[in-house]
Structures are given as structure tokens and as C-alpha cells.
Amino acid sequence: MHIKTGDKVQVIKGKDKGKVGKVLVAFPKENRVIVEGVNVQVKHQKPRSATQPGGIVESEGAINASNVLLYDEKLGRGVRTRTEVTKDGKKVRVSTKSGEKLDK
């Protein structure tokens, strides 16, 4: 999967198209990610005990990783990436447009 937890991504499809957010959780086996402020779902919850109040709870839902692109700060938009192997033997993600390494 081309997205990792902590990455800044831009949504390219769906109701939240164009939004930019940080990846909170990545699920590589399901190819899904949870992005901050994207795909917000509302749930009406009853109070479970005296200490836990009820009310309307908003939380982010998972979206498919193919619907997001890694955000490039230099270009100010989402970009496609490719992987390159460095001389150290590490894999790094590289922007196909600018050629800049996106992994620190």
C-alpha cells in the first residue's frame, strides 16, 4: 500500500473530494485508511452509565486507499508516487511530478 499512518493525503474521489488531512490509521490488509476530518459519520448514542453521557458522536470512517493521493507540500496538491531503492538499500517514495523524495 502506498499510504502509511501519519502521511498527509488529499482525497481525490467521493463526497470529501479535495480535502487534505492526516492519516490516523492505515489498514494494509483491507487497503483502507482513516483520514482526519474525512468521511465523518454520526452516531446517536445512549448513555451507558451515570459517568458516560449520551449524545451525538462523530467519528471518521475508513475509505479506500485508492481514493487518496500523497500530498506534496512543494506542489500544494496530491501526487502519484513511485518507489526507489537508495544506496543504503532502503525504499523511499518519490513524487512522479517533481522527483522529490517524500519520505524523510
Three-class HEC string of 12-81: CCCCCCCCEEEEEEEECCCCEEEECCCCEEEEEECCCCCCCCCEEEEEECEEEHHHEEEEECCCCEEECE
Q: Return the domain boundaries, the chain.
A: 8-73
Fold of 8-73: SH3 type barrels. (2.30.30)
**pLDDT reading at 104 higher than 80:** no
Q: What is the pLDDT of residue 50?
A: 87
Q: What is the pTM of this model?
A: 0.84
Q: How confident is the model at residue 92 (pLDDT cuts 50, 70, 90)?
A: very high
Q: How confident is the model at residue 97 (pLDDT cuts 50, 70, 90)?
A: confident
Q: How far apart are CA 86 and CA 31, in angstroms?
A: 26
Do the Cβ atoms of 23 and 86 come closer than 8 Å?
no
